[in-house]
Amino acid sequence: MGEKFPEIEGGGSLILAWQVRNKKVLVVGGGEVAAGRILNLLNADAKVTLISPRDGLNPEVAHRIEQKQVEYHDRKFLPSDLDDPAIVMVLTAIDEPDDSTVIWKLCKEKRIAANIADVPPECDFYFGSVHRDGPLQIMVSTNGNGPKMANIVRRRIAATLPPNIGEAIAKVGALRRKLRAVAPGNEQGPKRMQWMSKVCVTWSLEDLCDMEERDMDELLQSYAPNQIPTFEQVRLGEQPGSWEFDGSFGWACVI
């Protein structure tokens, strides 16, 4: 047939952005690893329930408890802790391998996704090394082979990114929300996506960072005729039809 398709390369993970906002996640353990897990969950607006004896709590974990950022139970894990049907995820970070395996098996019986720290075979998912800049999140995963290597690779990637890319993406997100209000119908979906892509390719990173709400409103006037003015034309208030796209491209922003 002459067509070439990507070769299958097994052994990877399906990397997803798991939305846990307002969902209940159970964390067992209160050490340094648990502190990192809890921070990731709170950044994702999850409702965190923590089970761990108070003795030996990591200072950061103790702070989360003191600030009532988590629901805390000062004791060891009990099988009945998994009876709550609202729990969507369980994370363990304890030093007792046998106890961790028990929790893993209980989670499998109840079909609850679980991550047993430092035991890759007992994980439904892995935590990668994450770079965060506002709405931008970049995760590097080694599929459980080398967490430290993931951290090194993530730092190298982050060092190559423009310092204001997070702000630019936030502005693009605001523009997308405005566009959906202007053209809300499902039939408008393909056109919305195509038009937003053209904006991201045509406007430079600096343009996107400097874009204000009035610029967004002005730019949206070009949606109906499916045209893309330059940032300067928008600032000058030129009307659609008074300019032509010259084929030049600025910074490429892939959202």
What is the distance between the terminal CA atoms of the chain, rounded to a whole angstrom?
33
Annotation marks residue 118 as catalytic = yes
State whether residue 179 is helix, strand or coil: helix
Q: Taking the CB of residue 112, how many other CB atoms lie within 10 A of it?
A: 18
Q: Taking a C-beta distance cutoff of 8 angstroms, is the pair 229, 240 a contact? A: yes
83 token code pair: 């009876």
**Active-site residue, selected from the candidate residues 118, 124, 210, 215:** 118
Mode of pairing for the β-strands spanning 113-116 and 47-51: unpaired
Which residues make beta-bridge pairs with 123?
115
Q: In Å, what is the CA distance from 112 to each residue of 39, 40, 51, 229?
A: 21, 19, 17, 50
Rg of the chain, C-alpha, whole Å: 24
Active site residues: 118
